[in-house]
Amino acid sequence: MLLIKTTDKNFNEKFGELLGRGAMDMAHVSTIVGDIIDEIRQEGNEALMRHIEKFDRWKPLKADDLMIDLQQMKRAYDDLEKDLRDALHLAYERIEAYHRKQMPKSWIDFDDAGNTLGQKVTPVDRAGLYIPGGKAAYPSSLLMNAIPAIVAGVEEIVVATPTPDNEINHLLLAAAHLCGIKKMYKVGGASAIATMAYGTETIPKVDVITGPGNIFVATAKKMVYGDVNIDMIAGPSEIGVLADETAIPEYLAIDLLSQAEHDEMASSILITPSAELAEAVRETIYLELPKLERELIARKSIEERGAVIVTETMDEAIALMNRIAPEHLEVMTANPFELLPKIKHAGAIFLGSFTPEPIGDYMAGPNHTLPTGGTARFYSPLNVENFLKKSSIIAMSEEGINAIGEACALLAKTEGLTAHEKSVRIRLR
């Protein structure tokens, strides 16, 4: 695990490498993804079924084979042990409550001249959710993507998930039943994104696509953006930790590993002004690694993309973390809320020793679909507004247009738009 200090001569070079952690070479997969999208657009189900046979190793014989049966979802839900069902319900309730507070409102405002201005907020008609499947199936991702769409009032939710060897995670099915999903399909990768973006004989076209995925999914989302809306283009998972000498090394070590076990490409970065803490955390990480079920994945992530940075001050540490703009940021200091005003860029911020990042993955309530690779500088977490759109409302009275019409016509005339100018002038007294 890389250990660097801001006083090192080559610090800027090493830190620059960390800033490039989220870069994905989409160019080398763009041709493959482009071909997949073209085939789906031209051939529909025929191409889709061919892709499933090739990539997921099973052959749908008819269009109905693509659909996941509603009774199968219900059986998976009914078969859950009570503790697991209760945990699923608790997560649902907390996620729903948080996202309800995000709902923007329509509004109408009247002025003294009788003019009416306002905003009308409406959900999209149909949302497409991409949920990873197979060994990397994450039922929590279904909750995090479906619930804000439900809260937003989306009438039709379409779920696509890959089913390698025609097998599907039962907890994912149970979560789909809990969310009331009626349309769920056995399709993954770039094929799923293309299918939801353009539709086939079986799977309807959607208005917005959300959800995480690999580089093929990310590239496909980038390519179809504009024909549909998307949430963001997310890369490998990551965590940043700001800590002072009061932090507990064992907590920090296992929290850093909680992201490393996701993916060999995940990054885990600790920044602290305490050299003693930095060394203790590094030692603890290597003690904990052999205890993990996904040790090989976590070890490769930590050794190739993990880092501990020792600064001279906490303000310097915060400044560096703002440049990193991590997906997840833990603040493990004596008074974490005092640092909050200085933190500008992070997908989700976890404050205090009793707030590990995984509590946000499952149960806290805020969405765990977050910007990665430094895009927290301009992207927000997935939220209800990803499933909403706003229309402006304008209604001018005769008095109102006479008050501002002359200025409007003058601007139109200056731009050389004669019909614009006349459209206003013929209404003026």
Domain parsing of the chain, residue ranges: 2-22+235-364, 27-230, 396-425
Rounded mean pLDDT, 253-277:
96
Q: How many whole angstroms separate alpha carbon 126 and alpha carbon 210?
A: 12
Residue whose C-alpha is closest to residue 277's, from 335, 332, 351, 352? 332
Query: 21: pLDDT confidence band, cut at 50, 70 and 90?
Result: confident
Q: How many whole angstroms separate alpha carbon 338 and alpha carbon 335?
A: 6
pLDDT, residue 234, reads 87
Q: Which structure tokens are listed for 241? A: 């930790």
When the pLDDT of each residue in the chain is averaged and rounded to a whole number, the result is 96
- The topology (CATH level 3) of 2-22+235-364 is Rossmann fold (3.40.50)
Phi and psi of 242, rounded to 5°? Answer: -100, 125
For the cut 60, the answer to whether the pLDDT of residue 226 exceeds it is yes
For the cut 70, the answer to whether the pLDDT of residue 185 exceeds it is yes
**Tens digit of each residue's pLDDT (9 = 90 or more) over 105-158:** 999 999 888 899 999 999 999 999 999 986 567 899 999 999 999 999 999 999
pLDDT, residue 136, reads 61
Query: 63: pLDDT confidence band, cut at 50, 70 and 90?
Result: very high
Residue tagged active-site, from 99, 262, 328, 368: 328
**Residue 83: C-alpha distances to residues 42, 79, 93, 128, 139 (Å):** 47, 12, 15, 30, 16
For the cut 70, the answer to whether the pLDDT of residue 19 exceeds it is yes
Share of the chain above pLDDT 70, in %: 99
Rounded mean pLDDT, 157-174:
95
Rounded mean pLDDT, 175-200:
98
The radius of gyration of the chain's CA atoms, rounded to the nearest angstrom, is: 25
**Residue 234: C-alpha distances to residues 12, 23, 344, 378 (Å):** 26, 10, 20, 13
**Tens digit of each residue's pLDDT (9 = 90 or more) over 235-257:** 899 999 999 999 999 999 999 99
The torsion defined by the Cα of 230, 233, 238 and 241, in degrees rounded to 10, comes to: -70
Q: How many whole angstroms separate alpha carbon 19 and alpha carbon 407?
A: 49
Task: Answer yes or no: same fold for 2-22+235-364 and 27-230.
Answer: yes
Query: 407: pLDDT confidence band, cut at 50, 70 and 90?
Result: very high
Residue whose C-alpha is closest to residue 185's, from 205, 162, 166, 208? 162
Strands 183-186 and 238-243 turn out to be unpaired
pLDDT, residue 134, reads 65
Residue whose C-alpha is closest to residue 357's, from 192, 239, 188, 197? 239
pLDDT, residue 133, reads 83
Architecture in CATH for domain 27-230 = 3-Layer(aba) Sandwich (3.40)
Residue tagged active-site, from 327, 330, 357, 421: 327
Q: How many whole angstroms separate alpha carbon 25 and alpha carbon 32?
A: 13
- Residue 368 a catalytic site member: no
Q: Which structure tokens are listed for 349? A: 């911020």
**Tens digit of each residue's pLDDT (9 = 90 or more) over 65-88:** 999 999 999 999 999 999 999 999
pLDDT, residue 135, reads 57
Q: How many whole angstroms separate alpha carbon 319 and alpha carbon 305?
A: 20
pLDDT, residue 427, reads 97
The identity of residue 244, as a single letter, is: D
- Residue 51 a catalytic site member: no
Rounded mean pLDDT, 401-425:
97
Q: Which structure tokens are listed for 256? A: 């850093």
**Tens digit of each residue's pLDDT (9 = 90 or more) over 326-353:** 999 999 999 999 999 999 999 999 999 9
**Tens digit of each residue's pLDDT (9 = 90 or more) over 280-308:** 999 999 999 999 999 999 999 999 999 99
Quick count: other Cβ atoms within 10 Å of Cβ 72? 16
